[in-house]
Amino acid sequence: MLYVFLVSVKLLGTGFEMFGAGFSERLIATTSNPLVGLFIGILATSMVQSSSMTTSTVVGFVAAGMLSIENAIPIVMGANIGTTVTCAIVSLGHITRNEEFRRAFAAASVHDFFNVMAVLILFPLELATGFLRRTALYLAGFLTGGEAVTFASPVKQVVKPAVKTIVGLTESVSGDHAAVFVALLGLLLLLASLYVLVKRTKALALGRAEVVIDRLMGRSGLAGMAMGTGITAVIQSSSVTTSLLVPLAGAGVVRLEKIFPVALGANVGTTVTALLASLAGDSRGLSIALVHLLFNLAGILIIYPYKPIRRIPLVLARKLADAAVKSKRTAAFFVIGLFYAVPGLLILIDKLL
């Protein structure tokens, strides 16, 4: 059932990618306003449900001279917010069971609140000082050159045959509407696999599984971050890493405080793919890949070490989860508004003006 869950997450992203990738690329290539660039990053990544895809596209555009580093930085920051849409959607699988949904939605949204906080702090700071750009350019000067480095995600390789077969069958049956059906099928499989996973996770939680998971995540935040970074670097998807934790949170196996540092580590781990790919290019492509890494590290260093600040995403996530349990429309408005409606509306307004 875990395999079905992984396939469903990939199918959902593939469905969005089938009708959203070209749109996302056109968006990325046509921005000059930093604030609009930020929302383009959110919307483009929400459409394809992969910050790695967005940042890889941005790296390619910057390396080719189609996009300046200054204009690319807000897009990369927005991609960090947009990539959390997958675990937000996963949490909706618990919506019929209030206590599970409260825990699952909090686990999903704590990642959102951290990334939004990081952007609120670092976006204006970068516009005022350019410290991320300057640091990345300095580091890129020492790292350019060498042969290309490639790395195949084992998870992607395992689910690829099933996804390819399903997409092929769907295209042969539904033709031009294949993207919609692939996305819907992914969503249905996601909900079904979540239902089974949660039931089995509950059964495990009656034993000693929660103790094992606690040990795996470590008793310190740094250990949790290391775990999140390592897993995400291997599977090359922060969405998968964080989405796997949502059912565990819903079942009460893992506390929100344990999930939080793993999600932060996933932010760092997801930068590895673009970094490896960019080493074969010139300093421009590597610079924007380094900006993504430096942005995530800076966000962690500013927010996580100080308990009063660190608690803000946790408190906001719990409050939002409480509101979502009282009114399910709150959850829908949050997901649709943050990831699609608000960015899309602001981009449209900018294009019309």
How high is the pLDDT of residue 155? 57
Contact by Cβ (8 Å): 295, 51: no
- Rounded Cα distance between 229 and 205, Å, is 25
Residue 117, judged by CB atoms within 10 A of its CB (0-12, 13-18, 19+), counts as: middle
| Among the listed residues 273, 239, 244, the one whose alpha carbon sits nearest the alpha carbon of residue 85 | 239
- Find all residues with CB under 8 Å of 94, minimum gap 6, and list them: 100, 101, 103, 104, 105, 194, 198, 247, 250
Q: What's the angle, vertex CA 190, arms to CA 240 and CA 223, rounded to 5?
A: 25
pLDDT by residue for the chain (353 residues), tens digit each? 667 766 776 776 677 667 555 655 665 656 678 998 999 889 888 887 777 777 877 877 787 677 888 989 999 999 999 988 888 888 988 888 899 999 999 999 999 999 999 999 999 999 999 999 999 998 888 776 544 445 455 656 777 888 888 888 888 877 777 877 887 887 788 667 756 765 665 555 444 444 545 566 656 788 889 888 888 887 767 777 888 888 888 888 888 999 999 999 999 988 886 776 666 556 787 888 899 999 999 999 999 999 999 999 999 999 999 999 999 899 989 989 989 898 988 888 887 77
pTM of the model: 0.79
pLDDT for 67-85, tens place per residue? 888 989 999 999 999 988 8
How high is the pLDDT of residue 158? 79
How high is the pLDDT of residue 177? 77
- Region of 67 (left: φ > 0; alpha: ψ -120 to 50; beta: rest) is beta
Looking at this protein, which amino acid is placed at residue 306?
A: Y
Chain center to CA of 66: 25
In degrees and rounded to multiples of 5, residue 67 shows phi and psi of -145, 135
How high is the pLDDT of residue 3? 78
Please give the DSSP secondary-structure letter assigned to residue 146. S
How high is the pLDDT of residue 6? 67
How high is the pLDDT of residue 147? 47
